[in-house]
Chains A and B, each alone.
Chain A
Amino acid sequence: MKEYILNTASSALVALYRFFAFHWEVAKRLVRPPYYPKLIWEQMDRVGVDSLPIVVLTSFFTGFVLAFQIGYALMRFGAKLYVGGIVSVSLVRELGPVLISLVFAGRVGAGITAELGSMQVSEQIDAMRALATDPIRKLVLTRFFAAVIMLPILVVVGDLIGIFGGMLVSVMNLGLTASFYKTSVINSLVFNDLISGFIKPLIFGGMISLVACYFGLNARGGTKGVGDAVTRTVVVSSVLVFLMDAFITKVLFLLGM
């Protein structure tokens, strides 16, 4: 039992060291070219534009259901007028960034790990290095920049769609007018809400892409290893989204945001 605990602890420490060493290698390359702008553009299309359908669906139904739940709860207190404000602030500050980032981790993160993992187990990464190319610059940084740029944009689009979903419920089921809903949304949202809703996906996008690239580049053992790596990416990314969300929320609260 003691040996098992020691072995598990030392394996965990080694894994953590490798994880941070990888991030250090990425950080060193962030500040110096080359950056491969054409590849970054291609990745932005893949991780951003191609994710739009699922982001739109997720956001619409989130706003839709949120308006229902909040609306019917507020009706008991005669306060359904506040639905627009509560739905928009909840979406912009919290639900939009977190739920869309979770969807992003499942779609984009898993895709990145599967792609890089398949390249790793078939020696394509070694071939890249043997051909005097840096895979961190060519594969990791391009996906990192694409994710950091596109996830906030996806969240903004998602928030708008979610607010629209809430508006449909408010008009069709809660007896509010569209113009009243719009006015309550505009009056409720403040600059700090927008900042909070933008900072989170900026950080989450970078985090998810780096986790996905790390597990992909460290996949071992053929197709099973790639599958395991994909699972790890989704689990670790999701947990980190929740952890970082709590941390960022606390920090913003302390900053008065």
Chain B
Amino acid sequence: MIELYDIHKSFEGKPVLKGVNLKIDQGETLVILGRSGCGKSVTLKIILRLIKQDQGRIVIDGEDTTSYTEEQMLMLRKKIGMLFQGSALFDSMNVKENVAYPLREHLKLSEDQISQKVAQALSFVELSGTEQIMPSELSGGMKKRVALARAIVLEPRYMFYDEPTTGLDPLTSRKINELINKLKDEHKVGSIVVTHEIANAFKVADRFEVIKDGEILFSGTSNELKGSKLKFVQDFIKGGTIENAKQ
């Protein structure tokens, strides 16, 4: 389980997160909804300690990581895979080398074993045979899937998705949603999905947290979200995306 307690974060004096609490367990998908700049991606980066919170505690599988050093966090990050909004593929490496990267860093495997694991990961995201292609030659959707293959190749217990379907066509978005659900159903991965696309959010979520002005405005299931009387929540469900929600 990943637990966040009273997380505060400011950038240049401007508060972004003001006392956020949330929990996510293995085998469930939590979707964090909110407007652009409300702190959704910051929450993911704070859990991974890519950014340090100003205040608050983070507990991952019973370990309080609040005062962990960078070296201690390096060990813990192997449990968590992250899909970045822009995919963040290493552009000097081809698809195979990108997916193989965590295997080479952390496991002592032969080249054959690495090739096998890469092939398995690419097969999972339905991109078999693309090993020699460079990231610059991939479409947006393919980049996301290669990045997903790289994130899951070490078989993490948790997955973070930062705007996984933003900018993708509906068919590719559906493919990404299917992969998110497949990871949860087949591998019991606990996932946090950060998005402002409500339609795609409903397709993957077990629970929702809605962030507004740095605080959790709503916490509940899909049906509870749809039945919420909060104006902000109602506006964005009707509007289709959280961007259309009036304040």
Contacts and interface: CB of A to CB of B under 8 A. Distances in A.
Interface of A: 118-119, 122-124, 126-134
A37 to B, nearest CB: 14
Given A123-B88, A127-B147, A130-B80, 14 more contacts: A118-B91, A123-B86, A124-B89, A126-B45, A126-B50, A127-B88, A129-B74, A130-B84, A131-B77, A131-B105, A132-B77, A132-B106, A133-B101, A134-B71
Contact of B105 (A123, A126, A132): A132
B105 A130 contact: no
B50 A131 contact: no
A129 B88 contact: no
B148 to A, nearest CB: 12
Nearest to B48: A130
B70 interface: yes
Interface in B71-129: 71, 74-75, 77-78, 80-82, 84-86, 88-91, 101-102, 105-106
Interface of B: 45, 48, 50, 70-71, 74-75, 77-78, 80-82, 84-86, 88-91, 101-102, 105-106, 147, 150
A122 B82 CA distance: 15
A129 B105 CA distance: 12
Nearest to A134: B74
B91 A122 contact: yes
Contacts of B70: 134
A131 B81 CA distance: 7
B50 A130 contact: yes
A39 to B, nearest CB: 11
Given A123-B84, A134-B70, A129 B77 contact: yes
Contact of A132 (B86, B90, B102): B102
Contacts of A134: 70-71, 74
B88 A122 contact: yes
A131 B84 contact: no
B134 to A, nearest CB: 14
A235 to B, nearest CB: 25
A196 B16 CA distance: 53
What are the 9 A-B residue pairs with the smallest beta carbon separation, nearest first?
A127-B88, A123-B88, A132-B77, A130-B82, A132-B74, A132-B78, A131-B102, A123-B84, A126-B50
Nearest to B153: A131
A134 B45 CA distance: 16
A35 to B, nearest CB: 14
Contacts of B150: 131
